[in-house]
Chains A and B, each alone.
Chain A
Amino acid sequence: MSYSWNWAVFLSPTPSGDATYLGWLLQGLQWTLMLSLGAWVIAFLLGTLLGVLRTVPNRWLSRLAAAYVEAFRNVPLLVQLFTWYFVIPELLPRPWGDAIKQTDPLTQQFFAALLCLGCFTAARVCEQVRAGLGSLPRGQRAAGLALGLTLPQTYRYVLLPGALRLILPPLTSEFLNIFKNSAVASTIGLIELSRQSQQLVDYTAQAYEAFIAVTLMYVLINVAVMFGMRWLEHRTRIPGTIGGK
């Protein structure tokens, strides 16, 4: 192959002159992290709420949560993202839509991607939370209620603390997925990590260096999350269980 490698390309200044190409990549990394962590907060809170709704005695609430899960699991992420970004501003009442379209494009892209990833992942978190709640011994709910706790209190103080610890491993893989899925935001123009790699190819033609650097950054994120979650798992293990102290 007649490809000429040039790793120094990362240190050369960009055409606008105020940053290096490495600076671009780090900026992309920053957007990827902000988007993924923000979306995870939405996914975790909404997903836990939906997971609880799936298990409450009220049949309508549990059907509502089930419908949410089916809707968000059976439409591709890309289609959901385009719906948040292109479709919803059109369907809102005109003044709202116009207000959205007048904000800065980067803000629009970021919030569309944030809501999209958050709601998409919430459906997956919901299923994990439901499985975790389902695997608890039945007596726990009964014991909580028998002690005079209300149903919300039983969930808050008895069921969720146990269930969330049980599902930490599958939640870790959902957390990893959110970083990977955030790359889809490049399709609406958000300049996150994978978009920056394409920019670098356009500007410098050093495709291999750009892609290798970005791929390594994703692998590093992966490794960091796995170590973090292992620590968390260690911290929160339940005393008295096989995995516990």
Chain B
Amino acid sequence: MYEFDWSSILGALPILGHGMLVTLEITLTAIVVGIVWGTLLALARLSAIRPLAWLAAGYVNLFRAVPLVMVILWFYLIVPALLSDVLGVAQGSDIRMVSALVAFALFESAYYAEIIRAGVQSVPKGQVNAAYALGMPYSLTMRLVVLPQAFRNMLPLLLTQAIILFQDTSLVYVIGLADFFGAAYKVGDRDGRLVELVLFAGAVYFVLCFGASLLVRQLQKRFAT
């Protein structure tokens, strides 16, 4: 039978903590950019201007058809080229974090756009008509009438997506970035204690995500009217 030895985790806590910061940084960036850019995409997709709607639909469908692993690899390829050619940044600085941030932000926007589109569509049509009847232009109607109600309706879905996103950030492993799981894997590999470190990482993810999903459920109950 396997003999567990958990001692290497204690010494590795600073590395793991730093990894968790990387994980949180990617998650939060992707949530913020994803919701802002996703809202614009959703509005574009619902817009009466056909070409705009098609472009947004193309963007969303393309990102949703491709595995996240491929998207991360794509941006790891494109971002350094863009940085050196367009912005003139010297190659060799740590590109991995930047490309991971860009990849997750753009990828998640496609998923957020779909949630937000459904949220906007769930707002009764009379609300829009009433706003127009009051003389509000499109931008004010969206900002003051439609979007506040839509976001309230879809808050649980947005938060659930954030939990999924938090788990998905572990895939930056494919470009060798030391997020929480990447750090755990490195420590486990170094000390020959992969079994303990993988189980530990799984337990930490479970506690955080399960806790968060319970909170979302509470919130859902409170918002349900």
Measured CB to CB, the residues of A under 8 A from B are 1, 3, 70-71, 73-80, 82-83, 86-87, 90-91, 93-94, 176, 179-184, 186-187, 194, 197-198, 201, 207-208, 211, 214-215, 218-219, 222
Contacts and interface: CB of A to CB of B under 8 A. Distances in A.
A137 B69 CA distance: 42
Contacts of B1: 93-94
10 contacts: A74-B206, A75-B202, A75-B205, A76-B170, A78-B170, A78-B181, A79-B198, A83-B198, A83-B199, A222-B65
A215 B194 CA distance: 32
Interface in B156-192: 163, 167-168, 170-171, 173-174, 181, 185
Interface stretch (B70-78, B122-130, B147-155): B70-78
Contacts of B85: 1
A93 to B, nearest CB: 7
Contacts of A87: 194-195, 198-199
Contact of A187 (B173, B202, B210): B173
B68 interface: yes
Contacts, number: 103
A218 B185 contact: no
A105 B68 CA distance: 25
Contacts of B185: 82
Contacts of B12: none
Given A82-B185, A94-B1, A215 B195 contact: no
Interface string B66-107: 111110011001000100010000000000000000000000
A218 B66 contact: yes
B170 A79 contact: yes
Contacts of B170: 76, 78-79
**Chain B interface secondary structure, helix, strand, loop or mixed?**
helix
B215 interface: no
Given A90-B2, A90-B195, A186-B69, A79 B171 contact: no
Contact of B202 (A79, A91, A183, A201): A79
Nearest to B199: A87
A75 B167 contact: yes
B209 to A, nearest CB: 4
**Chain A interface secondary structure, helix, strand, loop or mixed?**
helix
B210 A76 contact: no
A71 B70 contact: no
B194 A76 contact: no
B201 A79 contact: yes
B201 A197 contact: no
B174 A219 contact: no
Given A79-B181, A82-B198, A194 B167 contact: no
Contacts of A91: 2, 195
Nearest to B86: A1
Interface string B50-72: 00000000000010011111100
Given A186-B174, A208-B77, A211-B73, A76 B168 contact: yes
Contact of B62 (A82, A180, A181, A219): A219
Contacts of A197: 70, 73
B213 interface: yes
Nearest to A207: B77
B74 A194 contact: no
B70 A215 contact: yes
B70 A184 contact: no
Contacts of A180: 65-68
B2 A215 contact: no
A74 B70 contact: no
A76 B65 contact: no
A181 B62 CA distance: 16
A173 B183 CA distance: 32
B167 A218 contact: no
A87 to B, nearest CB: 5
A102 B224 CA distance: 55
B167 A77 contact: yes
Given A183-B68, A211-B73, 14 more contacts: A74-B210, A75-B205, A76-B205, A79-B202, A83-B202, A87-B194, A87-B198, A180-B66, A180-B68, A184-B67, A194-B69, A197-B73, A207-B77, A218-B67
